[in-house]
């Protein structure tokens, strides 16, 4: 996302909001609080519950009852008067969530430099960078950020460090060499691949498809040429690689860079995926045993994130043009999903709406979810259903 755009469009406003999600202790929370800063792509607030980086939360603007799903990009793990400050970026939310028009950034406008020193907890490298959706007065010891580490080649946890702990002699905004090094590191992660790519975007309330060819690809992004006009920060859904009439489920992504080559009417657009793409074209050297080990590790990681917890859950689905409701009980839950038993005939990839925990007669707003796995239960007519919360609505 364009950092200049974030800074110029951030407003100090206190909107009353309701926030629901899963805490770091794997407990469901439901809090009323207010925003401290709002922007076109996210906001800053405070919660009594401590949440993990990358966790998804459901937010309702209590002034207009408009809701959206957001992703935690930084949080202060230290308790301050019973609260934890955090910044979130939009995952899925309507443009009128705040009822405010955010003007586009005008080219050539000088912006204040609000970069701070961050250190990767994995490889210990230090970097001068901005913290999205944050005010400088709220950045202090205890703040951790989820961001891409070029050295680790993964999204890692970075911690705020005092200026005295930063790399000596590196003044903010003074190194063209630093920008060049970062560009070189990004280029080394990409591979020149021409793959069919389908993007799904919303224009005027309608979904518009854009099918084109990639220029280069990484596990977390792609670059392509297109005649369509995109905006930096625009959320899209992506199918890569794309095959006509395929049933592949699209993944969320965001436009992070746009360049128009001279002498052409097309635009070179770069996107960043919300989740890594398992593209075999990018890892031809990985052996089958390695893939099996990675799959096993992923299953174990999922299991660690689950908590055996029974709570009422209401699932609403659309079948044959009719809305069907089912009230059941969870077997276990995680920060972004749930697992329950059902005798209904669900399908993998099916979109549903979920209220959890559910109380009869309550007016809670449902959240979107997607069925990601179905398990057979030996000797029973029921099946285990795993759902992922906050999924993009088709």
pLDDT digits (tens, 9 = 90+) for 254-272: 888 888 887 788 899 989 8
pLDDT band at 167 (very low <50, low <70, confident <90, very high): very low
85-94, 172-181, 304-313: segment of lowest average pLDDT: 172-181
pLDDT at 321 over 50: yes
Structure-derived torsion over alpha carbons of residues 125, 78, 52, 240, reported in degrees to the nearest 10: -40
Place of tokens 């009323």: 32
Pairing of β 383-389 and β 116-120: unpaired
pTM score, two decimals?
A: 0.43
Helix or strand run (H / E) with residue 5: helix 3-8
Cα Rg for the chain, rounded, in angstroms?
22
Query: In the chain, what are the domain boundaries?
Result: 1-181, 196-281, 307-389
pLDDT at 180 over 70: no
Instruction: State the Cα–Cα distance between residues 385 and 394, nearest whole angstrom.
Output: 20
Q: Give the pLDDT of residue 302.
A: 53
pLDDT band at 30 (very low <50, low <70, confident <90, very high): very high
b/e sequence 277-297, b meaning 16+ C-beta within 10 Å: bebeebeeeeeeeeeeeeeee
* pLDDT over 70, % of the chain: 78
Query: Where is pLDDT greater, at 317 or 11?
Result: 317
Compute the mean pLDDT over every residue in the chain, rounded to the nearest whole number.
79
CATH superfamily ID and name for 196-281: predicted glycosyltransferase like domains (2.40.10.220)
Instruction: State the Cα–Cα distance between residues 135 and 114, nearest whole angstrom.
Output: 9
pLDDT at 208 over 50: yes
Q: What is the mean pLDDT of residues 93-110?
A: 68
For 307-389, CATH gives: 2.40.10.220
Q: Do domains 196-281 and 307-389 have the same CATH topology?
A: yes
Q: Give the pLDDT of residue 18.
A: 95
In the DSSP assignment, the letter for residue 220 is T
Q: Give the pLDDT of residue 280.
A: 67
Query: Which residues neighbour 82 within 8 Å (Cβ) at sequence distance 6 or greater?
Result: 48
Secondary structure (3-state) at 115? coil
pLDDT band at 299 (very low <50, low <70, confident <90, very high): low
pLDDT at 110 over 50: no
Structure-derived torsion over alpha carbons of residues 207, 212, 213, 215, reported in degrees to the nearest 10: -70
Q: What is the mean pLDDT of residues 119-137?
A: 84
pLDDT at 189 over 70: no
């Amino acid at each position: 996302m364009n950092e200049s755009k974030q800074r110029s469009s951030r407003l100090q406003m206190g909107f009353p909001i309701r926030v629901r999600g899963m805490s770091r202790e794997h407990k469901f929370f439901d809090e009323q609080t207010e925003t401290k800063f709002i922007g076109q792509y996210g906001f800053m607030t405070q919660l009594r519950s401590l949440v993990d980086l990358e966790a998804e939360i459901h937010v309702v603007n209590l002034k207009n009852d408009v809701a959206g799903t957001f992703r935690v990009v930084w949080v202060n793990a230290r308790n301050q008067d019973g609260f934890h400050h955090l910044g979130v970026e939009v995952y899925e939310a309507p443009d009128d969530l705040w009822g405010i028009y955010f003007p586009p950034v005008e080219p050539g406008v000088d912006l204040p430099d609000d970069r701070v020193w961050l250190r990767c907890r994995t490889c210990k490298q230090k970097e001068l960078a901005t913290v999205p959706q944050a005010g400088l007065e709220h950045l202090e010891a205890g703040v951790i950020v989820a961001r891409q580490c070029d050295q680790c080649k993964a999204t890692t946890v970075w911690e705020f460090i005092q200026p005295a702990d930063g790399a000596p002699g590196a003044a903010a905004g003074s190194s063209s060499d630093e920008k060049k090094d970062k560009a070189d590191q990004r280029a080394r992660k990409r591979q020149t691949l021409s793959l069919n790519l389908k993007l799904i975007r919303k224009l005027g309330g309608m979904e518009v498809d854009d099918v084109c060819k990639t220029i280069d690809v990484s596990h977390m992004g792609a670059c392509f040429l297109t005649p369509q006009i995109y905006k930096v920060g625009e959320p899209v859904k992506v199918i890569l690689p794309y095959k006509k009439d395929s049933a592949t489920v699209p993944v969320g992504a965001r436009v992070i860079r746009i360049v128009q080559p001279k002498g052409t009417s097309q635009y070179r657009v770069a996107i960043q995926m919300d989740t890594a793409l398992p593209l075999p074209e990018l890892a031809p050297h990985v052996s089958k045993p390695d893939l099996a080990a990675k799959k096993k590790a992923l299953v174990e990681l999922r299991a660690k994130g689950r908590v055996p917890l029974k709570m009422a859950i209401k699932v609403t689905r659309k079948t044959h043009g009719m809305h069907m409701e089912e009230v059941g009980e969870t077997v276990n839950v995680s920060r972004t999903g749930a697992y329950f038993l059902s005798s209904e005939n669900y399908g993998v990839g099916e979109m549903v709406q979920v209220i959890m925990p559910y109380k009869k007669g309550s007016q809670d707003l449902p959240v979107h979810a997607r069925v990601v796995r179905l398990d057979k239960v030996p000797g029973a007519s029921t099946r285990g259903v795993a759902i992922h919360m906050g999924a993009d609505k088709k």
